[in-house]
Amino acid sequence: MITQRAYSVEPWTVRESELNLDVLAQSESVFALSNGHVGWRGNLDEGEPHGLPGSYLNGVHELHPLPYAEAGYGYPESGQTSINVTNGKVLRLLVDDEPFDLRYGRLVTHERTLDLRRGVLERVCEWTSPAGSTVRVRSTRLVSLTQRAIAAVAYEVEPVDSRTRVVVQSELVTNESLPEPDGDPRAARALKSPLEPEEDLASGSRLRLVHRTRRSGLRVAVAADHMVTGPERTTTSSESNVDVARLTITSVLEPGERLRVEKLVAHGWSGVRSRPAMSDQVEAALAAAGHSGWQGLLEDQRAYLDDFWARADVEIDGDGEIQQAVRFALFHVLQAGARAEQRAIPAKGLTGSGYDGHAFWDTEAFVLPLLTHTAPKSAAEALRWRLATLPAARERAVQLGLRGAAFPWRTIEGSEGSAYWPAGTAAFHVGADIADAVVRYVAVTGDETFEREVGVELLVETARLWRSLGHHDDRGTFHIDGVTGPDEYSAIADDNTYTNLMARANLLAAADACKRHPDEAARLGADEEERAAWRDAAEAMNIPYNEELGVHEQHAGFTRCQRWDFDRTGPDQYPLMLHFPYFDLYRKQVIKQADLVLAMYTGGSFFEEYFDEEQIARNFAYYEPLTVRDSSLSACVQAVMAARAGHLGLAVDYTAEAALMDLGDLEHNTRDGLHIASLAGTWMALVAGFGGMRCSDGTLRFAPRLPERYSRLAFTVGFLDRCLRVELTADRATYTLNSGLPLTIRHHGTELTVSEDAPVSRSIPELTHRPAPSQPPHRAPNAR
């Protein structure tokens, strides 16, 4: 439960009205700014106090040895960890020789505001030094969504009641001291001061540092330029050494006078470019940003976001907290992928160092559905990154004795980074999740060029993996044994239903794509015989079902396993993996996160032969009392399927859990970075849950149901160059085409055609009421 609200509830901003050092690290994540290439945590401008300093460049990582008590064939030898690169945020302040440090003196007021429409973090504070001098500080920070390499700060100092001498030290700082990583001490040693100096420069108002990582061999360049405005007696000087470049600005201010520093910071990295080339790259980026100027950057940022919100906004009447949370979620998911451009979208985005900066299957299963309908270019770039890592995935498959591509469970640059194979290597479903994202992107955008250039190869190589990983038994049934599905408490299982259904869809989609693009199929050697084998495997896929219980099994034999003893599990023993051995979890009926329930959502109409409305209700009722939600990926899926099964109040509660994961710090780890997939899941819960949206067979389908908690829900989605707005009330759904040619959709099974001049409104059928399912003791979601 949230005992104290850290941020006020407002529809378009996240506001912190006082500085609370107990939630400082959480706020640094919440107030992080990013564009998918550059990420700045919401650290205070002066650098201290801080919870976790963080400046990130997507893809910049260091290697470290992975720990094994007993090594084995095929175990990854080294791990990858995202590193804190050169910090360009720092603007230290001295007030009459006293360091501006909010832990000393008296903090009169302090407010920070994340403006979701303008894409900036604003700060206003008033502080009295131990010597009695009072100053007012204002700052505005942005990471540009239009100029990929650029972040910027405008910083103002004003004395309140007396003549004051001020010094601002604008710095670039490399190899900052960080909290040591938990766990393997070898990793901590490898990541200590990971950047070796190659160049430092300070010339006039210009600063530049170039470094290179010790082991991964990546070159990082960061440069800064400044515009200083102040009284005539303002002076500047600059200096640099291997890890610090500094511009010092000194002025004497009378009450009413201000010292203003506008700081532009350019970032770049490469594994192949030379030091002079990297220096030139960031200098060129600074020149372009200087041409725009601070005001131009602000205007471009607002225009970019105006366009995004016109295509992506979700409106809720009846719950102001969730209204704020869904916009916060949309903003941060956009930031995570907007300018990633053939780089991964990490599980934490660029908001913190959690999960070592790795990307997982979360991206394709949770994040890309949102981006595909709202920012499709970003979704395409994320999949192009997967294509770029295909050589490593092919190599991994060969190592495992398989054909095709075995994509990693966790990675930064494409190689497997998981040292725990039951939840890593065995989680082969990541390949089908990538294939599903490809199929969805092409269906939503109609981008045939992408399918030909990117999609076919990804589909073919993942299909080859399934055909070599599985086998036909003596009755011709196709099985995939010894794998781990989404539920990490059920590892190394046979015929995981989610995996098998997703693999089935992958095999058929690959065969169909090859038929549409015969030249690509020929280039990849996917002949008719191979494609026929894919179809045979798909049609013969085993989908475990318990006839006696009338439910699908999460995996073969799951329903005959002993149930977890929930009555003897206390509330302080969750998450279970921190209090019980995996050996015990793996052989019991207990579920970390939605697995079979996720399968019922993911497949849309493609899986309808397995999951009709009654089957969905029975399956949901069976698995709900077993699911403990020890993963942030679960609540949003349970929200979607609770709504589909008619449990709207429960869906509201799960939606709130997904939406408030970080604003409420529900798992007490937001300090390490935001839960990007859970944030994306907020959109999923509202649009796919209460909106009932599915995309299948080239058609958008809606089966909306609005809970009593909300009096209105409206959202906008993109589909085949159209922009469709859906507005729901208690008993009606209205579909309006904002742009594009007439569009045929389905509403609760009925076909409708919507055009720009002809919105369509239909009634919402009455809900079928069913008994409410129970949850494990102590694990019910907080009631709204």
Tell me the catalytic residues: 488
Exposure pattern of 636-660 as b/e (b: 16+ CB <10 Å)?
bbbbbbbbbbbbbebbbbbbbbbbb
Please tell me the distance from the alpha carbon of residue 272 to that of residue 573, in angstroms, as a whole number: 48
Residue 485 is encoded by which pair of tokens? 């599905």
Return the closest-CA partner of residue 80 out of 359, 274, 293.
359
The answer to whether 345 and 336 have CB atoms below 8 angstroms apart is: yes
CA triple 485-671-632, angle to 5 deg:
25
Residue ranges of alpha helices (H) inside 155-274 are 185-191
Please tell me the distance from the alpha carbon of residue 399 to that of residue 74, in angstroms, as a whole number: 6
Residue 668 is encoded by which pair of tokens? 């007490």
The answer to whether 538 and 508 have CB atoms below 8 angstroms apart is: yes
Please tell me the distance from the alpha carbon of residue 453 to that of residue 380, in angstroms, as a whole number: 11
Please tell me the distance from the alpha carbon of residue 638 to that of residue 654, in angstroms, as a whole number: 7
The answer to whether 335 and 321 have CB atoms below 8 angstroms apart is: no
Strand segments, DSSP code E, in 273-349 are 314-317
What does the DSSP 8-state code read for residue 87? B
Return the closest-CA partner of residue 332 out of 57, 114, 54.
114
What does the DSSP 8-state code read for residue 404? S
Residue ranges of alpha helices (H) inside 313-389 are 320-337, 362, 368-374, 376-388
Amino acid of residue 53: P
Residue ranges of alpha helices (H) inside 82-232 are 185-191
Q: Scan for tokens 């079928």, then name that residue.
A: 768
Check whether the bond before 49 is cis (ω within 30° of 0).
Answer: yes
Q: How many CB atoms lie within 10 A of CB 67?
A: 13
Please tell me the distance from the alpha carbon of residue 719 to that of residue 707, in angstroms, as a whole number: 26
The secondary structure of 104-128 as a DSSP string is SSEEEEEEEEEETTTTEEEEEEEEE
Please tell me the distance from the alpha carbon of residue 236 to that of residue 679, in angstroms, as a whole number: 44
Return the closest-CA partner of residue 234 out of 255, 248, 214, 218.
248
In residues, how long is the chain? 784
What does the DSSP 8-state code read for residue 684? I
Residue 233 is encoded by which pair of tokens? 């007696």
